Chain A
């Protein structure tokens, strides 16, 4: 079945550091790919998404590119802020059906 694997955390960075959170997937077809973020005490929010190969999703300085050849959707940000501290979930969905989530990666940004 479909699955998502993302790097284990926590990831601890200093403010303005470069962020990469790796995500790879296994799917039978051509899924849509998502990054969700969960800030402390809040629900999951959609951060960005990509629906086909080579698409780049971007939002709030975060980017991720749908790489079909490596089945990856790594999340990047050039300069993180303390306010980016949260849990980040990579997920996929085939044909608009159920979401399959990765385990989540905790990001802690120190000032």
Chain B
């Protein structure tokens, strides 16, 4: 149980385009979803926290107009990287947590390469 999927697993796009990444909880209701970013050989850095039906809470230094997060249902959250640039190339990972639970369950990640 507690499976989280992400789609796509890989995406290559041109500079200036927008990319949408989906995160789904497959067998539980995720009241809270988290989006992380991981640079090579570095740790996961939390970008934002989203609660179903509410606006996301962004960490300091993360541009909310650039990284749009939508958590419209209890099983789906999306991260849209708008007007992507090469410096946005990274590994994006989501996690999900059910109501009243502390444990986060992680998706397999999405590798974004912006050319």
Contacts and interface: CB of A to CB of B under 8 A. Distances in A.
Interface of A: 4, 32, 36, 41-46, 49, 51, 89, 93, 96, 98-104
Contact of A44 (B42, B49, B93, B102): B93
Given A43-B4, A101-B44, A32 B108 contact: no
Contact of A102 (B4, B43, B106): B43
Given A43-B4, A44-B93, A36 B42 contact: no
A103 B40 CA distance: 10
Contacts of A103: 41-43
Contact of A89 (B4, B43, B103, B105): B43
Nearest to A41: B108
Interface in B42-76: 42-44, 46, 49
Contacts of B41: 103
**Interface size grouping (class) on chain B:** 10 to 19
A98 B34 contact: yes
B106 A45 contact: yes
Given A98-B49, A99-B46, A43 B109 contact: yes
A49 B103 contact: yes
A64 B5 CA distance: 28
Contacts of B49: 98
B109 A104 contact: no
A96 B99 CA distance: 11
Given A43-B4, A44-B44, A45-B106, 13 more contacts: A4-B43, A32-B102, A36-B106, A41-B108, A42-B108, A43-B106, A46-B103, A46-B104, A89-B43, A89-B44, A93-B102, A99-B44, A103-B43
B43 A44 contact: no
Nearest to A106: B41
Contacts of A89: 43-44
Nearest to B5: A43
B37 to A, nearest CB: 11
B62 to A, nearest CB: 12
